[in-house]
Amino acid sequence: MPDEPEWLECSVDRLIAVRPDGYTVARVTGTDGTELIVSGRPLSGVQPGETVRVRGAWVTHAKYGDQLAVDVCEPTAPSGVRAIRLYLASGIVRGIGPKLAAAIVDAFGARTLEVIDETPERLLEVNLIGPGRKDLIVDSWIAHKQVRELMVLLQGYGIGPSYAVKIYGEFGDSSAEIVTGDPYRLIEAVRGIGFTTADKIAMASGIPEDSPVRARAAVLDRLDAAAAVSGHCYLPYASLLAAAVALLGQDQLLVRQAVDALAEQRRIVIDTGIGAGQAVYERRMWDRERRVAEALGALAQAASDLPKAVLRRMDALEAAEREEQAEREEQAERAEEGEAAEGLHPQQLAAVRMALTHTVSVLTGGPGCGKSRTVDTIAALVRAGGGKVTLAAPTGKAAKRLAQLTGRPAMTVHRLVADKKDGLDSGALFDDDPLYADLIVVDEASMLDVSLAAKLASRLVPGSHLLLVGDEDQLPSIGAGRVLADLLRVPGVPHTRLTHVFRQAAGSSITTNAHLIRQGRPPVLHAAPGFWFEDCDDPAAVADRVVEIATHLIPAKQGVDHTQVQVLCPSRKGHTGTIELGRRIQERLNPAMEGRPEHWSGATVFRVGDAVTQIRNDYLKGRAGVFNGTTGTVTAISPEDRTLTVLTEDNETVAHDFDELEDLLHAYAISVHRSQGSEYPFVVAPITTESGGLLLRRSLLYTLVTRAKTSVVLVGQRKALRLAVEVAGQPRNTGLAQRLAAELAGPEAEAGEPEMLL
């Protein structure tokens, strides 16, 4: 084969591999019918059925043999009957599947695309195409053409073509105009496009480096990044200036002017009452934090509407427990083993009284300390006294687990607070509006971010009781804020922490080690059968071992299905990150098979049979919305309809458009953060310093270990495990505790509308 670069026109038959950086390996067919392999980053975003013109040099790969290493890839219209048929059959044009593609090409031959483009009414000549299907095909064809043109435009700026569909979905016919004229608008409007990508377009378009528009975009980007990456609700003024200056490479004066302009536009708030008077908030974040404080303050100071009969039943319970405790102590003295049954602990009784005598309160505790039993007791007392109880949790998994533990219906917080216009049927679980309850219990409250807490707090009814239940030693929320931790810092918010570990739980090596980790002490490494650590230094070898243990050894030894084993990872990247481990487990459990449908979305390939999890709330899907944390199995992939169908854990069938697949992740290996609120029979996890150890924190390890019900296996480096135990979590910049303390202290202590530092 020649060594010099050459051009080749080909149709894409199948994607073999796609890396996160866009590097793609594909099997293609040339115009002469020759099948070959092409590879390279310029192929990023291509889909089976497309026709492309590529330039590259021939190389020999150890696995795939001879292939064309591509340095230029240009989309082009397919030529020839075969290429056109493959193109239309691929599902690129909505409404056309393989059968209809063959019928259309049989009718119009090599002129097929010309007919669709110039005389689309002729499609009605084809059997099976009526007016509705014709309009669907034409609309999809027009959109596809514009997306292809947008791909070419983005490539001119050195931007991967995968963003074209997202941009077009947001801006439609105005996409090209937005990209070339106001690229910084893409940052807020298009998921995945940050300042760096938008700035690359802007600089190539001739926007000056010292442009005020560019500086304002950098300031907003740094605030967004602080919230998304570090969970901060605000940045100190000096920190924001430094971060934006570093991003821009410009003088600090330009950034100061940008901050002033954004404050004047009310897009940011400089709150002189928070963070030593230098707290800079994105406006929406400031609004949310203040709403939480105001609403919880009002609820805490409102008179209780709890039926009096509930308090009488509480008094009776306490009296009965005191008598039973005396009897148990007597029995324990007479018993040879001293194993009398345990009743409610005094800490639990204190928590019951707290929740029923205060309109806002917090219950915390580690594993085996009886949080669930305490909640169940509180809820039972309210119901027995004629009151109404609503149980909720931040994720679907957590809500389902809460329902199983209490034997009562539970719902997600999103569903609880959703507006009627969102179409969520909360009445499917409750006789009336669940917000009009005497007691609202929110479990796994460590997962509440300030945005979700604001929605909940602003809809609470004065007179109701709110009980937040959680474990403050777990990871904080994925979203910005630390609501549970902030409430625990406010002296005026009643709080009971359960520390007594019950005998049944104390026998678990998982529970024992979890409490050791919480205390900053090293766990017992080989506490069979529930806890095991396998020493391995090389991250690549760690990955091999994790895959083997999760897919073969545990299922074989324990006699369970592989679905009972969950791989949890501290990070996304590297040999031991969720991306690579998930890909390898997918290839082991659900590899590509001839004739089985699959669809590539970016660097992710979805196949029928894949385990997936929802990562964003979608109120419009299913009977009552699909929420972050919902898991399921891919049951169908339809190129013709451009949809992927998932059967959820709740036995509901939900369709996802191909353009919505960023809302789904494979569930073969997930981050520890995403595992919150869930429990799994068996957990396997890599523990390495591969990513620099920045994510290894005590709260992460503690959360990881407490996700397992039967056993947890850690594979990795002792130094990484030691680091995870010793390093406490990083604080988040929040003002909620200060605001709520001011609300509870009275009007004279409230900060009010902040002054602006201009």
- Conformation bin of residue 667: beta by default, left when phi > 0, alpha when psi is -120 to 50: alpha
DSSP 626: B
d(CA 194, CA 76): 29
Q: Are 571 and 582 in contact (CB under 8 A)?
A: no
| 85 contacts 105 by C-beta, under 8 angstroms | yes
Neighbours of 367 (CB within 10 A): 19
Residue 655 to residue 661: CA distance in whole angstroms? 10
Contact status, residue 9 vs residue 55, Cβ threshold 8 Å: no
- Cα dihedral 600, 28, 157, 150 in deg (nearest 10): -70
CA–CA distance, 218 with 281 (Å, rounded to integer): 14
Q: How far is CA 636 from the centre of its chain?
A: 23
Q: 18 near 605, Cβ under 8 Å?
A: yes
* Rg, the chain, Cα only: 29
Cα(570)–Cα(327) distance, integer angstroms = 48
Known binding residue 371? Answer is yes
**673 phi/psi in degrees, rounded to 5:** -55, -45
How many whole angstroms separate alpha carbon 705 and alpha carbon 675?
A: 11
Is 369 labeled as ligand-binding?
A: yes
> How many residues does the structure list for the chain?
758
- Dist CA 363 CA 375 (whole Å): 9
Q: Which residue has the tokens 């390495």?
A: 688
Find, among 448, 443, 441, the residue nearest to 487 by Cα: 448
428: tokens are 């499917």
Q: Which residue has the tokens 């934006």?
A: 244
Mode of pairing for the β-strands spanning 495-498 and 708-716: unpaired
Q: Rounded to an integer, what distance in angstroms lies between the CA atom of residue 569 and that of residue 734?
A: 27
Q: Decide if 198 contacts 186 (C-beta within 8 A).
A: yes
Q: CA-CA distances (angstroms) from residue 721 to 367, 521, 702, 715, 725?
A: 20, 11, 11, 10, 6
Closest CA to 350 of 496, 469, 502: 496
Contact call for residues 411 and 434 (beta carbons, < 8 A):
yes
| SS3 per-residue string spanning 465-534 | EEEEEECCCCCCCCCCCCHHHHHHCCCCCCEEEECCCCHHHHCCHHHHHHHHHHCCCCCCCEECCCEEEE
Q: How far apart are CA 400 and CA 411, in angstroms?
A: 8
Whether residue 416 contacts residue 390, with contact meaning beta carbons closer than 8 Å, is answered with: yes
Tokens coding 592: 């590509």
CA dihedral 367→368→369→374, nearest 10 degrees, is 100
The residue assigned the tokens 């687990």 is 401
- How are beta strands 495-498 and 360-365 bridged, if at all? parallel
Residue 677 CB-density burial (10 A; 0-12 exposed, 13-18 middle, 19+ buried): buried
The number of angstroms, rounded, from the C-alpha of 123 to the middle of its chain's C-alpha atoms is 43
536 labeled part of a ligand binding site: no
Structure tokens of 301? Answer: 């100071």
d(CA 2, CA 685): 47
Dist. CA 653–CA 650, nearest whole Å: 9
574 is in an annotated binding site: no
Residue appearing with tokens 């090409």: 105
Residues making up the binding site: 368-372
Instruction: Could you list the residues known to form a binding site for ATP, using ranges.
Output: 368-372
